[in-house]
Amino acid sequence: MIGGSAGSMPVLVELLNQLPSPFFIPVVIILHRLKNVESELNRLLSVQQTIVEPEDKEALLPGNIYLAPQNYHLLIEDDSTFSLDYSEPVNYSRPAIDLSFSSAVSVFGPAVLGVLLSGANKDGAAGLCRIVAAGGTGIVQDPLTAGFSMMPQAAIDLCSGVQPMPVNDIIHYLRQISTANKS
């Protein structure tokens, strides 16, 4: 699970372009974006692998990269399918990173890895804490390297178990877990 907001786009593109292909773990991206403006985010996220916006009840599959659809909360159900939710914004956001992170940990528990990138609000901090509390891994972009430090710093302040890392270390970590999950 990767969440981000203001300032996260260049980092996200770099992370995705550095993933080994194929990457055997499903990647779910939750980005804040304007809700009433036609989105070209799929085109802007020009990376080596295909990124899809999941449909409601679509199965979460290894090796795929998913992007939360514009103006919907993206949840993961107990049967490992996606659910698109149009309830009220959380932390002024829909999709809300907190909701996606929390739904993933409800289904996958300690197997969840959450990465929180640059952003200008506190969305994602509580969800990342739930991941860490369940035994999963919580990583935040080092606030000193973030375009907007509020989001990663909020997670650090809220939850002692998160690991701040510069972008290159996040890339290295993702490459390591990819190699470990190949076999």
Catalytic residue numbers read: 5, 32, 123
Place of tokens 């795929």: 64
Sheet holding 2-4, edge to edge: 51-52, 65-67, 27-31, 2-4, 113-116, 137-141, 163-165
Pairing of strands 137-141, 163-165: parallel
Place of tokens 């304007």: 34
**Cα dihedral 133, 63, 103, 80 in deg (nearest 10):** -120
